[in-house]
Chain A
Amino acid sequence: MRNDGQSSNQRAIGTVPATDEMLLTRIATGEQGALSELYDRYQGLMYGMASRITGDPALAQDVVQDAFIGIWRNAARYSSSRASARTWVLSITHHRAVDVIRRRRPSSELPDTDAPAPSSLITPDVWPEVSGRLDADAVRGALGSLPSAQREAIELAYFSGLTQQEIAARTATPLGTVKSRVRLGLIQLRGLLGDAVADGVRDPEGN
């Protein structure tokens, strides 16, 4: 269904910038120009996330490439009622990044691959949208006010890409404790972020 004439028409109409969600719809129809536009919007966030998790610029680029291939192939499965485009795109990137570093580990027999992994894209796309752009300082503050063991477990999991077992080994903590720290920490974080998460609106100064 790729049709260059159609895609240039669609671009020509666009005097109003397309929303990310509209871009994903166009990507689902095979419009490469829409993916190019999504790339321009998200490459910085995706590369920043991939770099932080992999700690390796070459791997981070592989992650971003893999993530875009995943987006290209799975855009039709995206549902705006379940997550914003931003959340979806970043969850794919996160998933690919942890996948890449886990495959790289010596204990793993998984083949590394420059090739796309067609069916392995299982995004944890089960939560509703948090539409408000949360202020990073507010999030940092909330994270900082968690008990340090909970914060550490969450950070090792999300920002360092460690698994439950790796976190347990790193922190000399039983597996079950890691499990409950992560879950309780996230629940507490949700409470601390309060209305910001629940309503998707944040106005910390009350203006």
Chain B
Amino acid sequence: MADPMAASMTCQEADDLAGLYVLDALEPADQALVQAHLDSCPGAHAAFSEVGEVVPALASLIEPVDAPAALKARVLAAIATPARAVPAVSVVPETSAREAIRDEAIPMAAYRRPAWAQWVLAAAAVLVIATLGSWSIVLQERASSAEARAAVLAQALTAMADPTAQVATLRGTADVAGARGFAAFPKSGPGYIVIVGLQPAPSGKTYQAWYLVNGVPTSAGLMSVGQDGYAVLSGITEVDGTNLIALTVERAGGASQPSGAPIVSGQVTA
């Protein structure tokens, strides 16, 4: 009970919140207080199991809906990425990416790097810095998300700088002229597509990325714009012989074939 947060909530107060807690309906700050209390309190807190037992019954009311078939490949690709451990408060991935990018001894990497990549890196660094000094569980939770995001962006930039990588500089067409980004597929390791300058997809629509091999499209996955303005697809593997990366707007859930012209695209070069 040394934790001052645990002391700030009594057993009775925690028990009163048991129902909201088991339904994931507490405000983040309350959730953190309850969690801290449960983690440190030696009491049994039967109130939680009492109501928690009902949750699986509620879950039985959920109607199964088959996910789009492409999702399985995306999930398996995501778990296959080596980004398993993001250290709790680490700027190492970000720093090493910056060094890789700045390393003048890699002229090919420097050549490939779009000028704005530095800006992406700076934004990633801000995300990390903004999360330092977090003091509560809630803030730590936020920090880990921001760090994870920053780490993915840094990894994408590292991939971009990899001399063995196939890369594409992506540009938006007239409709989304401000959109730009890159795709990077290192010889070994996961590939990435990063796009900035897109508005979130309209309601009922999604962005979908495509590998094109001599004009034949294969879905690379669905992309959505995060609150930080980036759309990121990570842990992907390009189709052999891909010479173009394209992004289209599709019906939510994605399509098996692009239904319209690309709004963002770029040639893949070795």
Contact = CB atoms under 8 A, between A and B. Distances in A.
Given A65-B75, A72-B79, A158 B16 contact: no
Contact of B19 (A110, A161, A185): A185
A159 B53 CA distance: 17
Contacts of B17: 179
A23 interface: no
A57 B23 CA distance: 22
Chain A, interface size: which category?
35 or more
A124 B226 contact: no
A120 B63 contact: no
A124 B141 contact: no
B170 interface: no
B245 to A, nearest CB: 17
B56 A84 contact: yes
A114 to B, nearest CB: 5
Nearest to A123: B24
A155 B85 CA distance: 36
A127 B52 contact: yes
B26 A73 contact: no
Nearest to B52: A127
A162 B25 contact: yes
A133 B140 CA distance: 37
B179 interface: no
A111 B226 contact: yes
B50 A32 contact: no
Given A127-B49, A157-B23, A185-B19, A43 B60 contact: no
A149 B232 CA distance: 42
B227 A112 contact: yes
Interface string B157-170: 00000000000000
A112 B61 CA distance: 28
Interface string B8-30: 00000000111111111111101
B38 interface: yes
From A111, A120, A165, A185, residue with most partner B Cβ within 10 Å: A111
B152 A112 contact: no
Interface stretch (B64-72, B99-107, B256-264): B64-72
A35 interface: yes
A51 B127 CA distance: 29
Interface stretch (B109-117, B142-150, B183-191, B209-217): B142-150
Contacts of A65: 71, 74-75, 78
Interface in A104-147: 104, 108, 110-120, 122, 124, 126-128, 130, 133-136, 139-140, 142-143
Interface in B125-150: 127, 140-142, 144-146, 148-149
Nearest to A108: B227
A164 interface: yes
Given A58-B224, A117-B144, A161 B24 contact: yes
B144 A139 contact: no
Contacts of B141: 117, 119-120, 122
Given A47-B67, A58-B252, A197 B24 contact: no
B196 interface: no
Interface of B: 16-28, 30, 35, 38, 45, 47-68, 71-72, 74-76, 78-80, 83-86, 88, 127, 140-142, 144-146, 148-149, 151-152, 201, 206, 222, 224, 226-228, 231-234, 252-253
Interface of A: 32, 35-36, 39-40, 43-49, 51-52, 56-62, 64-65, 68-69, 72-73, 84, 86-87, 90-91, 94-95, 98, 102-104, 108, 110-120, 122, 124, 126-128, 130, 133-136, 139-140, 142-143, 154, 157-159, 161-165, 167, 178-180, 182-187, 189-190, 193, 196-197
Given A118-B85, A186-B23, A197-B53, 12 more contacts: A43-B66, A44-B67, A48-B65, A58-B224, A61-B74, A72-B79, A110-B142, A111-B127, A111-B227, A114-B152, A127-B55, A161-B25
